[in-house]
Chains A and B, each alone.
Chain A
């Protein structure tokens, strides 16, 4: 990042199984209007619009984002990078600002999966239809594969997954936008049905609809608005085949090499040298509680072998960052938008505008994106201090 810019507006719809009362365009407009209102701007101040929508099959309509074009006459492009669609769209909007081609960009992500009666089948088509067809690979079993590997290699227990999930659900009780509002204890979670061992139902994310929008402004357009400065942004793409990520020297399947590489670059830009001390809030795109554990070492919070201990430390060491104060994806997972929601929630925390879920004294927050069977990773660092 060479140019200074900040998130100055955040808008979100609520997240729920289906917004039956809203069209796709309604959802996009609601999030966009809220973000523009938050920024104290109208559409005329926006120079470029970046939309994020992942599989068309979930919406039942090809190019559904284009039904909602507003501010016609402006650049309007669509990003589709699966789970990282929201953060990729935000990064693309930031590039327009950083290039000087836009003073202000509006980025919006939409998830419309409530329209599909076959969401899980649509997700399952991310895997190869020929070579992997006979292998019962789904988005759930692929996560279970990783969870069992983490347990075997690093000593995590089913209890660890339940405790992480319980913390996320309890945080979500303070987030009025969350899809799931349930006070679930670790015992409740362990008693929920098994989806694919070792993953229980309440350790998995829900299927949610919703839209999220951000207004990203270059330094000269920030004025007296409250900024969440974009201090570092990085994206990394990995190999497709999970088998190619098992036995390589750079890192195994559960070492999340793509997230680690992204964190290294984003932290370098942001001046983060000690993640445990320099970061106050972490908003993780971890659709399963076990997937959250993979991020701890990748983001520099602990050594891989100390992961299980780090789960417990979060409950006792108050100097550690707060993880998912919004509740994270287990409380709402509008897939195309989820990675943008992470940035939105991090921005709200940095701006001191997170309401009841606000963490006191936040100076720097990290938001991650994860997509494509952990193939794609993004890291975004936001803070109160203007970058050098």
Chain B
């Protein structure tokens, strides 16, 4: 059963003292429902992605789910990336469990410590005492990737292009935010801009202008030693599945919004989804207009909203509503979302304009 996008909304802000988290969520979900042209009475499902440790309270969906429209509806919350929640919503609609679903994800970096969140991902006895966080893995990847002169040169241009794209993206964070201290050889330009992000969309079984044509998910082992660092195997597998289902090669998509914690992860992500050959991801980030035109992590970053944010940016491209970062003739879009630890689980969504 084909699944369609009826409405989408996103907001990237920072430390907005006028609104609490529930109000941020309500505003974005309301905007997505308004965008869909539907009434709340026509929506029978709510699928959320949120982390207690980001929201700052246990079972945070108690207070956030009603703000997302869950009152007396079939609601489920994933403590996973927003793209995984999107995928779960698709399965619920395909299975006939629901007819129309809100999918929402958020993260408020101004009210939690992203570095502490990352350190808590590691085993408290064996690995946390080493001072590991997810940026360490990104730095290890960077050491492997940035060895060649041509990659270092492309890296400089990619940093500039990403920053410029975020500057032109009207939805990107324009003031406030912060970055974590980079681990060698990462530089400030590689780092995500921590922000407050809320994203929401309305999915439906009724035809609209935007259709989900492919979906794939995959996972990797927990221990880094069991994973290849030079590539993101789970993202490759997820992309293969999504693109095969869509009947589209990765090289043929008109726009790719690929999630990655750092610029290095975005480059490896482009390679994994097939938009760049192995070793060419950084150059494509520097030169290929199809690669993360939104500005990627430089436009604002907060777990676990990123996968849904990437999907939202892809939808806006397909609708021709991306503003100054709009590409011409976008018919097919790919978006990915990753979850901890360091992209251990991946979801890829392929969308098409009717």
Chain A positions within 8 Å of B, measured between CB atoms, are 1-3, 25, 48-49, 53-57, 60-63, 66-69, 71-82, 88, 91-92, 94-101, 122-123, 125-126, 128-129, 234-240, 250, 257-258, 261, 371-373, 375-376
CA distance A371 to B61 in the complex (A): 11
From A68, A91, A123, A257, B76 is in contact (CB under 8 Å) with: A91
CA distance A75 to B92 in the complex (A): 15
CB distance from B24 to the nearest CB of A (A): 16
Interface centre among A91, A95, A98, A234 (most CB of B within 10 A): A95
From A96, A97, A99, A122, B58 is in contact (CB under 8 Å) with: A122
**Are the CB atoms of A79 and B78 closer together than 8 Å?**
yes
**Are the CB atoms of A372 and B59 closer together than 8 Å?**
yes
From B51, B76, B221, A92 is in contact (CB under 8 Å) with: B76
Say if the beta carbon of B218 comes within 8 Å of chain A: yes
Task: Please give, as numbers and ranges, the residues of chain A lying within 8 Å of B71 by CB-CB distance.
Answer: 237-239
CA distance A235 to B237 in the complex (A): 32
Say if the beta carbon of B231 comes within 8 Å of chain A: no
Count chain B residues whose beta carbon lies closer than 8 angstroms to a beta carbon of A. Answer: 56
Q: A81-B77, A237-B71 known; A54 and B59 CB under 8 Å?
A: yes
CB distance from A57 to the nearest CB of B (A): 6
Interface residues of B in 299-354 (CB under 8 A from A): 339-341, 344-345, 347
Closest residue on chain A to residue B46 by CB atoms: A237
Interface residues of B in 115-158 (CB under 8 A from A): 117, 120-124
Say if the beta carbon of B88 comes within 8 Å of chain A: yes
**Are the CB atoms of B79 and A98 closer together than 8 Å?**
no
Task: Please give, as numbers and ranges, the residues of chain B lying within 8 Å of A48 by CB-CB distance.
Answer: 217
Q: A1-B96, A69-B221 known; A240 and B66 CB under 8 Å?
A: yes
Closest residue on chain B to residue A373 by CB atoms: B62
Say if the beta carbon of B80 comes within 8 Å of chain A: yes
CB distance from A91 to the nearest CB of B (A): 7
**Are the CB atoms of A98 and B62 closer together than 8 Å?**
no
B226-238 CB contact bits vs A (8 Å, 1 = yes)? 0000000110010
CB distance from B114 to the nearest CB of A (A): 12
Closest residue on chain A to residue B219 by CB atoms: A76
User: What does DSSP make chain B's interface, helix, strand, loop or mixed?
Assistant: mixed
Say if the beta carbon of B9 comes within 8 Å of chain A: no
Q: A80-B78, A257-B72 known; A61 and B57 CB under 8 Å?
A: no
**Are the CB atoms of A62 and B117 closer together than 8 Å?**
yes
Task: Please give, as numbers and ranges, the residues of chain A lying within 8 Å of B120 by CB-CB distance.
Answer: 56, 61-62
Q: A2-B96, A74-B219 known; A237 and B78 CB under 8 Å?
A: no
**Are the CB atoms of A63 and B91 closer together than 8 Å?**
no
**Are the CB atoms of A82 and B62 closer together than 8 Å?**
yes
**Are the CB atoms of A69 and B222 closer together than 8 Å?**
yes
Interface residues of B in 203-255 (CB under 8 A from A): 215, 217-222, 233-234, 237
Task: Please give, as numbers and ranges, the residues of chain B lying within 8 Å of A237 by CB-CB distance.
Answer: 46, 65-66, 70-75
CB distance from A111 to the nearest CB of B (A): 13
Task: Please give, as numbers and ranges, the residues of chain A lying within 8 Å of B15 by CB-CB distance.
Answer: none
CA distance A211 to B80 in the complex (A): 20
Task: Please give, as numbers and ranges, the residues of chain A lying within 8 Å of B97 by CB-CB distance.
Answer: 1, 91, 95, 98
Task: Please give, as numbers and ranges, the residues of chain B lying within 8 Å of A55 by CB-CB distance.
Answer: 52, 58-59
**Are the CB atoms of A239 and B76 closer together than 8 Å?**
no
Task: Please give, as numbers and ranges, the residues of chain B lying within 8 Å of A128 by CB-CB distance.
Answer: 57, 63
From A3, A61, A79, A375, B79 is in contact (CB under 8 Å) with: A79
CB distance from A364 to the nearest CB of B (A): 21
What are 5 inter-chain pairs, A to B, with CB distance below 8 A? A53-B79, A101-B215, A125-B58, A126-B59, A261-B72
CA distance A55 to B75 in the complex (A): 18
CA distance A199 to B94 in the complex (A): 45
**Are the CB atoms of B345 and A125 closer together than 8 Å?**
no
Interface centre among B90, B215, B217 (most CB of A within 10 A): B217
Closest residue on chain A to residue B227 by CB atoms: A72
CB distance from B67 to the nearest CB of A (A): 9
CA distance A63 to B128 in the complex (A): 14
Q: A73-B237, A237-B46, A237-B70 known; A375 and B62 CB under 8 Å?
A: yes
**Are the CB atoms of B94 and A75 closer together than 8 Å?**
no
Task: Please give, as numbers and ranges, the residues of chain A lying within 8 Å of B79 by CB-CB distance.
Answer: 53, 56, 63, 78-80
From B59, B63, B70, B75, A80 is in contact (CB under 8 Å) with: B59
14 additional A-B residue pairs with CB within 8 Å, beyond A62-B120, A66-B341, A94-B95: A55-B58, A57-B58, A62-B117, A62-B121, A63-B341, A69-B221, A74-B218, A77-B80, A82-B59, A82-B61, A88-B77, A98-B97, A236-B75, A237-B72
CA distance A66 to B220 in the complex (A): 9
List the 10 closest A-B pairs by CB distance, nearest first: A98-B95, A2-B96, A75-B217, A99-B94, A237-B75, A62-B120, A76-B219, A80-B79, A99-B91, A82-B59
B79-105 CB contact bits vs A (8 Å, 1 = yes)? 110001001101110111100000000
Task: Please give, as numbers and ranges, the residues of chain B lying within 8 Å of A72 by CB-CB distance.
Answer: 219-221, 234
Q: A68-B222, A234-B74, A236-B72 known; A77 and B345 CB under 8 Å?
A: yes
Task: Please give, as numbers and ranges, the residues of chain A lying within 8 Å of B70 by CB-CB distance.
Answer: 237
Task: Please give, as numbers and ranges, the residues of chain B lying within 8 Å of A372 by CB-CB distance.
Answer: 59, 61-62
**Are the CB atoms of B59 and A371 closer together than 8 Å?**
yes
Task: Please give, as numbers and ranges, the residues of chain B lying within 8 Å of A61 by CB-CB distance.
Answer: 120-124
CA distance A78 to B219 in the complex (A): 12
Closest residue on chain B to residue A258 by CB atoms: B72
Closest residue on chain A to residue B1 by CB atoms: A99
CA distance A322 to B221 in the complex (A): 43
From B57, B121, B219, B220, A63 is in contact (CB under 8 Å) with: B121
**Are the CB atoms of A56 and B53 closer together than 8 Å?**
yes
Task: Please give, as numbers and ranges, the residues of chain A lying within 8 Å of B63 by CB-CB distance.
Answer: 128, 240
Interface residues of B in 152-167 (CB under 8 A from A): none
CB distance from A124 to the nearest CB of B (A): 8
Task: Please give, as numbers and ranges, the residues of chain A lying within 8 Å of B59 by CB-CB distance.
Answer: 54-55, 80-82, 126, 371-372
CA distance A100 to B223 in the complex (A): 31
CB distance from A259 to the nearest CB of B (A): 12
**Are the CB atoms of A60 and B124 closer together than 8 Å?**
yes
Task: Please give, as numbers and ranges, the residues of chain A lying within 8 Å of B340 by CB-CB distance.
Answer: 62-63, 66
